[in-house]
Chains A and B, each alone.
Chain A
Amino acid sequence: MRDIRTEEMLLNMGPQHPSTHGVFRVVIRTDGEMVLETESHIGYLHRCFEKVAENVSYVQVVPYTDRMDYVCSMINNLGWAEAVEKLLGIEAPERAQYIRVMVAELNRIASHLLAFGTYGMDIGAVTPFLYAFRDREKILKIFEKLCGQRLNYTYVRVGGVSFDITDEILKDIEDFCNYFEPDIIDEYNRLLSYNGIFISRTANVGVIPRQMAIGYGLTGPNLRGSGVRRDLRKDEPYCIYDRFQFEIPAGSGEQGQTGDCWDRYMVRIREMTQSIMIVRQALKGIPSGLHLDKKLQLKVKPPKGEAYHKVEGARGELGFHIVSDGSEKPYRVKTRGPSFCNISVLDELTRTGKCMVADMVAIIGSLDIVMGEVDR
């Protein structure tokens, strides 16, 4: 009898696939269920953000930053606004700074909730997704009250924030903090984090060692999952983050090896607790006063020069490099997007020879990429 002939199969995952989290295509070379090699294809969502930014004024760029990492627009706005402020050599009013920290942290929670929910769905548990959306909805409601938008806020502007925060909204934020922490996070942990099947699916899967994480330029929860405690809010404080007490959670290989999918997942869950802590402190300290330098909205004309500013987004380091030629429009804008760098590690992770097709989904989900930012 002749030997049974087997052959490798090329499998297209995406661009339309529920687990690629956007329009992302991975070509997988499989041997049965085993993944031998993958090749990532990006660019389906490219819309020339950097070129567009050269053709509109500094204030008009803000809505375009919304659409980069569309699940944490506030932090994108913040990054842009602070970069321009750095170029102008000004600082936003005190009250605006507090509001910025609050909305940024709330948006970080909303973003991590989405990551938590969709990750549960990737692993096959649908219920956590809807639990996460139940709570994300509360944050979106607050933002809706604040600026009328639920996803693309354009809230943080050059020189402040677009609308002042009212006492009612402050009360809503406080209610949300009390509702969310610690009860809801405990619920998530009981439902998914410490579920045996979930741990067996994520622990020791997609391990990113410390060196590899640094080598690939990973940032955000993906870097901290590998045990590197780097967070711009602590290491290079921007805005007023140096006034708040909080911790940087990092992966420690609690369920498997340091830097596996479970570690990255858990860093996000723990960061939500820290974000709530920051919001609570900001609620206590918020001063009265101006929320926006209104004159700046009409004409932003920075002097000749360039500035680079980076902030800690929900997915990692988000940097804007702006070159000004002294006119009303930026001469050149370069963005350092966290998802774009984070996604580069994917092909390396799947080349271990131990990765199965189901692990592909777990790994992509744990990297928590937003294709809107990868392609820009």
Chain B
Amino acid sequence: MASIPLFLSAAFHSCWLAQAPALETSKSSPNGLEALLQRLVHSYPAEGTWWGAIAAMLIACLAVFAFLNLFALFAVWLERKVSAHMQCRLGPMEVGPHGVLQTIADGIKLTVKEDIIPRVADKVLFIVAPIIVFTGTFIRFAPLPFGDYLVASDLNLGLFYIAAVGSVEVLGVIMAGWSSNNKWSLFGTIRTATQMVSYEIPIGIAFVTVAVSAGTLSTMQIVEQQSGWFWHWFVFRNPFLMVLSIIYLIASLAECKRSPFDLPEAESELVSGFHTEYTGIRFALFFLSEYAAMYLVSGVAVVAFFGGWYLGIPVIDRIGAAPDSSALAFVIGLLIKAHVLIGKAVGLVFVQMWVRWTLPRVRLDQMMSLCLKVLLPISLACLVGSALWDLFMGSLASGKEYSMFFWLE
């Protein structure tokens, strides 16, 4: 099981590395591979040719897209296996060893299935909706790092961008439910709109608090500040951030419509909610974006609270980090960091699945009161508390990077 994410990220990285020589511009940089990778992945090279920049952007897009697809294949299989083993079943066993290729078979089935558009549906919206949902999820990956240097675009307002662009997905979901011309889908749509818009508030406040502590919104710089021992992670920085990380995890479940907040697609109430009428490849797009969103919220949680690509053990984290280290050490360090980040994110995805297959579903009014009466006030209090803590306690600790466990050092 554990080898799957490793295999996946290795594939992802080989994809990067294979592309690298193709992009080598006439300018050879002094630092060789490092500079090349930096230019490649940051995709906004200050120097270099215009086609190099466009190619870098395309490669970044393709790489993220490839990762998303591979991850969705893996995650769907993982979900089925996790649920099966939690429920005294075996799950898919036939296609490939332990059914690892089952998702590929299902994917092929979905793509060749008849694509039905209901006669009374609003055709344009019906066709556009899954594209918007998928795009809305996909573009949120831009500032999300997959490892040190491995980010599609290191925006200076990364967290803000992720929170803001997330609303595009809601738009697509509303279009899907409305255009289906199905009353149950309409219910799902309204629930989605209510839920996702409400839960963006605690998530936004969690982001703001992290930004206040880190002094930046850039995802790369936020992770940089969590280097060193694992108690430098933001989750351990002060008790308020610890509470906020839990609030973020709860709200992120609602954000990607996962149980116990899966009201928009409540199987036993609305059958499938907003995507009841969708078949074939359009349904696959919804499915894909759901799993992509699961990775996204987990990845963001790792970046903002759980140390990003740092394992929390400086000896390992420092591999290849020194300016005079060899190219090999640099690449090994890069791979370790990417594995650590993706591994942590997959771990959180597993927690999401675990929760889904354990808990019942809440009701709409209970979900709203949980958000507005519990999560929102607590997160606001944590924002103030965290800021005050940083102001007063921060001066007690030595150095720039401190945590509530600074006395351990």
Note whether A and B form a binding pair: yes
Could you list which residues of chain A lie within 8 angstroms of chain B, going by C-beta atoms?
9, 11-12, 17-19, 32-33, 120-127, 130-131, 134, 191-192, 195, 197-198, 200-201, 356-359, 361
Give CA–CA (A122, B268) in the complex, Å. 5
- B residues within 8 A CB of A18? 267-268, 271
- B residues within 8 A CB of A122? 268
- A residues within 8 A CB of B87? 126-127, 130-131
CB 8 Å contact bits of B179-207 with A (1 = contact, 0 = none): 00001100100110000000000000000
CB atoms of A124 and B262 under 8 A apart = yes
CB atoms of B260 and A197 under 8 A apart = yes
CB 8 Å contact bits of B260-286 with A (1 = contact, 0 = none): 101100111101000000000000000
CB atoms of B361 and A123 under 8 A apart = yes
Cβ-neighbour of B183 out of A11, A17, A121, A195 (below 8 A): A11
Chain B residue with minimal CB distance to A362?
Answer: B363
Chain B residue with minimal CB distance to A118?
Answer: B268
Interface residues on B, range: 20 to 34
- A residues within 8 A CB of B83? 126-127
CB atoms of A361 and B269 under 8 A apart = yes
CB atoms of B360 and A123 under 8 A apart = yes
- B residues within 8 A CB of A11? 183-184
- A residues within 8 A CB of B190? 32
Q: List 29 A-B contacts (CB under 8 A).
A: A9-B183, A18-B267, A19-B269, A122-B268, A124-B259, A124-B262, A125-B358, A125-B359, A125-B360, A126-B83, A126-B87, A126-B267, A127-B87, A127-B357, A130-B87, A130-B88, A131-B87, A192-B360, A197-B260, A198-B360, A200-B366, A201-B360, A201-B361, A201-B362, A201-B366, A356-B364, A358-B361, A358-B363, A358-B364
- B residues within 8 A CB of A32? 190
Q: Does B89 contact A (CB under 8 A)?
A: yes
Residues of chain B from 42 to 93 with CB closer than 8 A to chain A in the complex: 83, 86-89
CB atoms of B260 and A126 under 8 A apart = no
Given A12-B183, A124-B360, 7 other A-B residues pairs in contact with their CB atoms under 8 A = A11-B183, A33-B364, A125-B358, A134-B88, A200-B363, A357-B187, A358-B363
Q: Does B409 contact A (CB under 8 A)?
A: no
Give CA–CA (A200, B365) in the complex, Å. 11
Give CA–CA (A125, B360) in the complex, Å. 4
CB atoms of A124 and B260 under 8 A apart = yes
Give CA–CA (A200, B359) in the complex, Å. 12
CB atoms of A124 and B267 under 8 A apart = yes
Could you list which residues of chain B lie within 8 angstroms of chain A, going by C-beta atoms?
83, 86-89, 183-184, 187, 190-191, 259-260, 262-263, 266-269, 271, 357-366
Cβ-neighbour of B357 out of A12, A126, A201, A357 (below 8 A): A126
- B residues within 8 A CB of A134? 88
CB atoms of B361 and A197 under 8 A apart = yes
Give CA–CA (A127, B357) in the complex, Å. 6
Residue of B83, B262, B266, B359 with highest tally of chain A CB at under 10 A? B359
CB atoms of A33 and B267 under 8 A apart = no
Residue of B259, B268, B271 with highest tally of chain A CB at under 10 A? B268
Give CA–CA (A19, B266) in the complex, Å. 11
CB atoms of A124 and B268 under 8 A apart = yes
Given A18-B271, A197-B361 in contact, is the A124-B266 Cβ separation under 8 Å?
yes
CB atoms of B268 and A201 under 8 A apart = no
Cβ-neighbour of B359 out of A12, A197, A358, A359 (below 8 A): A197
Chain B residue with minimal CB distance to A126?
Answer: B357
Chain A residue with minimal CB distance to B356?
Answer: A126
Give CA–CA (A245, B259) in the complex, Å. 43
Give CA–CA (A19, B191) in the complex, Å. 19
CB atoms of A200 and B362 under 8 A apart = yes
Q: Quote the shortest CB–CB distance from A280 to chain B (angstroms).
A: 25
Cβ-neighbour of A201 out of B183, B184, B271, B363 (below 8 A): B363
Given A127-B357, A130-B87 in contact, is the A17-B362 Cβ separation under 8 Å?
no
Chain A residue with minimal CB distance to B271?
Answer: A18
Given A33-B187, A134-B88 in contact, is the A120-B364 Cβ separation under 8 Å?
no
CB atoms of B88 and A131 under 8 A apart = yes
Residue of B88, B259, B262, B363 with highest tally of chain A CB at under 10 A? B363
- A residues within 8 A CB of B362? 197, 200-201
Given A124-B260, A124-B266, A125-B358 in contact, is the A356-B363 Cβ separation under 8 Å?
yes
Residue of B89, B269, B366 with highest tally of chain A CB at under 10 A? B269
Q: Quote the shortest CB–CB distance from A252 to chain B (angstroms).
A: 23
CB atoms of A124 and B271 under 8 A apart = no
Residue of B83, B87, B269, B360 with highest tally of chain A CB at under 10 A? B360
Residue of A124, A127, A359 with highest tally of chain B CB at under 10 A? A124
Q: Quote the shortest CB–CB distance from B38 to chain A (angstroms).
A: 46
- A residues within 8 A CB of B364? 33, 356, 358
Chain B residue with minimal CB distance to A198?
Answer: B360
Q: Quote the shortest CB–CB distance from A325 to chain B (angstroms).
A: 48
Give CA–CA (A126, B366) in the complex, Å. 20
Give CA–CA (A115, B363) in the complex, Å. 21
Chain B residue with minimal CB distance to A121?
Answer: B268
